[in-house]
Amino acid sequence: MSWLVTGGAGYIGSHVVRALAQAGLVPVVLDDLSSGMASFVPEGVALVQGSILDRELVERTLREHEVQGVIHVAGFKYAGVSVQRPLHTYAQNVEGTRVVLEAMAAAGVDKIVFSSSAAVFGTPDVPLVIEETEKRPASPYGESKLIGEWLLRDQAIATAGSEKPLAHTSLRYFNVVGSADPSVYDVSPHNLFPIVFEKLLAGGTPRINGDDYATADGTNVRDYVHVGDIALAHVAAAQRMIAGEPIEAAYNLGSGDGLSVRQIMDAMARVTGIAFTPEIGPRRPGDPDRIVATGQRAARDLDWRMRHTVDEMVRSGWEARRAAG
């Protein structure tokens, strides 16, 4: 028996693959390599190259590898770009999730851990987000992730009286950073850590977008969580399902306090040894002062906790990026 990781050749997915293997579960990867990298898949792990939109391929993979559960990480993850490419976003994230669920039903696979996002909340007007906080997604990306959660819910209701009722959970996470393996790094051109790393490697000066927010140092406060911790939470959810233990429909994987962009910049300078004073640019439209979530429910059920300091998060990401050349 194995666990299928869709998007398992990506930055987050490949960490999930490693965590599964370390926990004694057999991972199988399905990835179209549109943003993932085959080199991120550990040696000895089966890699099926193809799209989650290919219904026949997904079902065949589930059957041939005797998959008992799916960790669904694959998707189009760029919130800002999704505004310009809504149809592509919905195709990948909504239709893709529907196809995965349909193939699972056909193959008799009844467990799924869904990689959702804090983007389902949009711009919350509360200091600390909990699972029940109102969902007001502000982008097609956030909307597509919320619809994904609905798809899981509705399929679970539809199969509740069957021989194989769907067990599911959605893990909502925020700013995923760092690396738990020196051969894997964040390749996104839109995330803060790789943006700063590339700027420093090119001899440039990183920029902060606005320093007049209603926070302690004037810069945005966000939840930054280590990718290794995120991966462990996915595995804990899978193990809970295997054991037949009750599991919530959704968990927020938050830090509970957050870090400001200036705190991140200060850590970047400390860890890299490159002294710099960040440039201050204008605010980005729609950027809220603070988005931080509690992870208490995940701590209760999924052994969720912040295992890394900000310097450790920066150092692991920096070392992995430099190792890539």
Which residue numbers are catalytic? Answer: 141
Distances (CA, A) of 274 to 6, 187, 202: 37, 21, 12
d(CA 125, CA 54): 40
Q: State which amino acid sits at residue 124.
A: P
Task: Decide if 198 contacts 187 (C-beta within 8 A).
Answer: no
d(CA 290, CA 310): 17
Task: Decide if 16 contacts 73 (C-beta within 8 A).
Answer: yes
d(CA 249, CA 116): 11
Write out the DSSP string of 201-234. HTT---EEE-S-SSSSSSS-EE-EEEHHHHHHHH
